[in-house]
Amino acid sequence: MNLFFFSTKPRNKKTGVAKRRNTISRTQRTVDLGQQEIPYTLTLRPGSRTIRLHVDPDKGLVVSAPTRAPIHAIESFIIQKKFWITRHLEESKKIIQRKQIPNGTAATILGESKVVIVKEHQLKRPYIAEKPQEIIVYAPQNQTIIKKTLENYLRKKFKVHLTKRLKEISNIMGTHYGTVTIRAQKSRWGSCSYRNNLNFNWKLIFFPLQVIDYVIMHELTHTVHHNHSEKFYDLLSHYCPDYKALRKSLHNAKTLF
Ligand SMILES: [Zn+2]
């Protein structure tokens, strides 16, 4: 997001955009940028003294301006910034494509094959219903909301599974651990601090259960050996003889997120 500042002096109301001055007004407009017409949302704010441009992946170009700003001044400001705008619109198009979870997407969740069904619903609070072969997302047709709703649900689901398996496996291994956090690191599946606090990536939910168990065993082994020494692998292979193959399958990630 970038801001551009533009100060406007109070002037005669020739804007034809907002008649009322003490409320925020929002209108959909289009502006001609030469090669293309760009739709945008114009928000007029009584207290504001600057024109701001913002490109949102879902809403597109959003322009906020003082209530008194004349429309020709707003639009000439937009035209002035057309390269910045087209660049950011291109980027957000890519973001949207990357973020997309189309209706009918197949995924393996904790070792079970599921199909993600998106059902359009104008709810204040989107929600999820899970069936044996389906995960149904009830949400407005907005990819950011759909993805966020699904992520929150899957994170919780992963936490429940992880908490249970950690206890069980730790009991078998006779290990002790501190706090457990769940994150979304880019390239790490798990980690163990010097204080034996554990950290797991929720995207492990998309892997087979044995792979998740392997990551749990790997981190629990670190509570005994804080390195990847021979002793570490001796202990790990005692509880997880297939660790090499399981570790390899982590590289073939087919995660939804
Ligand atoms: Zn390690």
Dump pLDDT digits (tens) for 108-127: 999 999 999 999 888 788 99
Question: Which amino acid, 203?
Answer: K
Domain assignment present for 38? yes
In contact, 78 and 85? CB cutoff 8 Å: yes
Q: Is the pLDDT of residue 176 over 70?
A: yes
Whether the predicted pLDDT of 4 surpasses 70: no
Place of tokens 């949400």: 139
Q: 């087979």: which residue's tokens? A: 208
Ligand 1 centroid distance, CA of 221 (Å) = 8
pLDDT at res. 15: 52
Lowest average pLDDT, out of 200-214, 216-230, 239-253, goes to 239-253
pLDDT band at 162 (very low <50, low <70, confident <90, very high): very high
Q: How far is the CA of 19 from the centre of ligand 1 (A)?
A: 64
Are both 180 and 218 inside the same structural domain? yes
Residues 48 and 148 in one domain: no
Do 200 and 133 reside in the same domain of the chain?
A: yes
* pLDDT of 33 above 90: no
Q: In terms of residue numbers, what domain contains 207? A: 105-249
Distance from the CA of 96 to the center of ligand 1, in angstroms? 34
Q: Which of 98, 113, 132 is the last residue of a domain?
A: 98
User: What separation in Å is there between the alpha carbon of 150 and the centre of ligand 1?
Assistant: 29
| Interatomic CA distance for residues 199 and 204, integer angstroms | 12
Find out whether 52 and 19 touch, Cβ atoms under 8 Å.
no
Considering the domain architecture, whether residues 230 and 126 belong to the same structural domain is answered as: yes
Query: Is 257 a member of any domain?
Result: no
The CATH number of residue 205's host domain is 3.30.2010.10
> What is the distance in A from the centroid of ligand 1 to the CA of 178?
17
Is position 213 within any domain? yes
User: In the predicted model, what is the mean pLDDT of residues 218-239?
Assistant: 97
Residue 238 is encoded by which pair of tokens?
């005692």
In a domain, 255, yes or no: no
Closest CA to 85 of 160, 196, 2: 2
Q: Are residues 64 and 158 in the same domain?
A: no
Distance 254 CA to ligand 1 centre (A): 22
For residue 11, count CB atoms less than 10 angstroms from its CB and return exposed for 0-12, middle for 13-18, buried for 19 or more.
Answer: exposed
Distance 222 CA to ligand 1 centre (A): 7
**93 within some domain:** yes
Q: Is residue 84 part of a domain?
A: yes
pLDDT of residue 21: 53
Give residue 110 CA to ligand 1 midpoint distance, Å: 22
Query: 193 and 79 in one domain?
Result: no
Q: pLDDT category, 128, cuts 50, 70, 90?
A: very high
Q: Are residues 185 and 72 in the same domain?
A: no
Instruction: State the distance from the centre of ligand 1 to the C-alpha of 188, rounded, in angstroms.
Output: 10
CA of 183 relative to ligand 1 center, distance in Å: 16
Q: Burial, 142: exposed, middle or buried (Cβ in 10 Å; 0-12, 13-18, 19+)?
A: middle
Within this chain, do residues 86 and 112 fall inside the same structural domain, yes or no?
Answer: no
- The reply to whether 239 and 158 lie within a common domain is yes
Tokens 């709703």 identify what position?
Answer: 149
- Cα dihedral 45, 51, 56, 61, rounded to 10, equals 100
Domain tally for the chain? 2
Q: Does 226 map to a domain?
A: yes
Average pLDDT on 215-233 reads 97
End-to-end CA gap in the chain: 23
Q: Are residues 120 and 194 in the same domain?
A: yes
